[in-house]
């Protein structure tokens, strides 16, 4: 194999595509849809896009006519992300592990962490919410304080989304620290004390609020030697389509990924004595339905 030759490894690519660390939950909030161009124009959904309309027509009756809001679009340019791992032929020969597989896992984790942080930065940025779709707790209202009321806060957030866009939120994303507080809160435990489970699991909390799913963001990153949470002590309620293959369906947001990505290729360096195993992806994240989200922040005092 020449120095300039790049070979896509189908086996390693399949491994890279199939691997997913459960700590990463961002694409639960902003699901992945495939696109075929690096630059795409996608809709920003107004309130009418989510609402349920009356469609029943009696015999001889008039057609139900609704004038939809004008379509507002946003330009999204996908960005390439890659991570290469050099493997010396001597290490590959002597190692007790499959060095190529290790390189794929490390590369995939690095790119996944970048994607998770991209989604988290958008979803936790208070400027991405209207004034009525965010609540910052403080002092006695924090959930780790005696006067904190998570049930009322969550119900109010859900009600606001339903009121504004006409659909119930179906997903709650909770930061790890916020989850530690929520699952032990007396209001939550009081609601599950009559069930066979004594522990507040994600599934039980979802059932309490009538949500399809509760996910906990547990990913961490290295900030100059200090490990920090990607997801802060926040709770995010959102409406997310159950199944979608297109960004045309109303949603809180999407992760746009180039068709054919992610993939792994290999190429030689240093005269063939070092092999580079490289994982490449191309994606961008976009918030598309601002009013389909609600942010509760500063859970912990």
Mean pLDDT of the chain: 88
Q: List pLDDT tens digits, range 16-36.
A: 666 566 789 999 999 999 999
**At residue 70, does pLDDT exceed 60?**
no
Of residues 86 and 72, the one with the higher pLDDT is 86
Q: List pLDDT tens digits, range 138-153.
A: 989 999 999 999 999 9
Of residues 87 and 237, the one with the higher pLDDT is 237
pLDDT at 12: 73
pLDDT-derived band at 3 (thresholds 50, 70, 90) equals: very low
Domain containing 287: what range?
A: 7-49+79-297
Q: List pLDDT tens digits, range 164-195.
A: 998 999 999 999 999 999 999 999 999 887 76
- Answer yes or no: is 58 within a domain: no
Distance of CA 54 to the CA centre of its chain: 32
- Answer yes or no: is 254 within a domain: yes
d(CA 59, CA 61): 5
The total number of structural domains in the chain stands at 1
- Answer yes or no: is 268 within a domain: yes
CATH at residue 111: 3.90.1690.10
DSSP structure class, residue 255: E
Query: What is the value of pTM for the model shown?
Result: 0.86
Distance of CA 279 to the CA centre of its chain: 21
- Answer yes or no: is 115 within a domain: yes
d(CA 258, CA 33): 9
- Answer yes or no: is 55 within a domain: no
Neighbour tally for 87: CB within 10 Å: 18
- Answer yes or no: is 57 within a domain: no
**At residue 154, does pLDDT exceed 90?**
yes
- Answer yes or no: is 161 within a domain: yes
- Answer yes or no: is 205 within a domain: yes
Neighbour tally for 127: CB within 10 Å: 5
């Amino acid at each position: 194999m020449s120095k300039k030759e790049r070979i896509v490894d189908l086996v390693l690519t399949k491994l890279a595509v199939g691997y997913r660390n459960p700590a990463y939950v961002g694409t639960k909030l902003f699901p992945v849809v495939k696109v075929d161009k690096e630059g795409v124009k996608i809709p920003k959904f107004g309130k009418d896009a989510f609402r349920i309309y009356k469609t029943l027509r009696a015999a001889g009756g008039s057609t139900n006519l609704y004038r939809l809001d004008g379509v507002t679009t946003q330009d999204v340019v996908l960005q390439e992300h890659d991570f290469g791992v050099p493997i010396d032929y001597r290490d590959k020969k002597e190692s007790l592990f499959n060095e190529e597989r290790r390189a794929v896992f490390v590369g995939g984790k690095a790119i996944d962490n970048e994607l998770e942080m991209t989604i988290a930065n958008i979803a936790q940025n208070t400027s991405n919410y209207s004034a009525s779709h965010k609540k910052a707790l403080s002092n006695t209202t924090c959930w780790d304080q005696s006067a904190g009321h998570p049930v009322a806060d969550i119900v109010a957030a859900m009600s606001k989304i339903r009121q504004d866009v006409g659909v119930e939120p179906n997903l709650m994303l909770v930061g790890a620290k916020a989850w530690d507080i929520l699952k032990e809160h007396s209001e939550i435990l009081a609601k599950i004390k009559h069930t066979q489970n004594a522990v507040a699991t994600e599934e039980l909390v979802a059932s309490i609020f009538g949500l399809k799913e509760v996910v906990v963001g547990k990913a961490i990153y290295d900030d100059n030697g200090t490990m920090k949470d990607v997801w802060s002590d926040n709770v995010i309620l959102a409406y997310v389509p159950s199944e979608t293959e297109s960004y045309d369906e109303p949603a809180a947001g999407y992760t746009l990924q180039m068709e054919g990505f992610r993939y792994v290729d290999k190429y030689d360096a240093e005269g063939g004595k070092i092999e580079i195993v490289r994982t490449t992806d191309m994606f961008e994240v976009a918030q598309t339905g601002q009013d389909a989200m609600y942010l509760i922040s500063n859970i912990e005092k």
